[in-house]
Amino acid sequence: MSFEEAERLRARAEAFLRNAERLFQEGEYDLAAFSLEQYCQLALKYRLLVKTGTYPRTRSLMRLVRELARADPRAEELGRDVVMLTKVEDAYIGARYLPRSYEKEEVEAMLRYVKERFKPLVDGF
């Protein structure tokens, strides 16, 4: 692991979160949902890289959480959020490839979860 690679992941993750907030404010709910998924994925990969020196090449948030919990048992708390994590995880496919439109209320709930629960937990590991 290089410090540069880890910092690139962290910075890119934070940029995706800022982008999600901006897109949400602009009413671009599909792209906001996608950006939230990208933030979560990269934030987990960053933490794994820092803690273990590597991360699995997967997009599955649940798999990344399980891997992180092996390295840091505090991450098990995130595993309890399976409903929200899978909703965010599904945005990767749903917002990119499926003829699905995300509603304001569901993206608002996802954004609130990421900012109020996911981010503080991941930042604390």
Is the pLDDT score of 106 beyond 70? yes
> Three-state DSSP class for 43?
helix
pLDDT tens track for 45-57? 999 999 999 999 9
The one-character DSSP state at 27 is T
The pTM of this model reads 0.94
Is the pLDDT score of 65 beyond 70? yes
pLDDT at 1: 62
Q: Which domains does the chain have, with CATH numbers?
A: 3-123 (1.20.120.330)
> Three-state DSSP class for 120?
helix
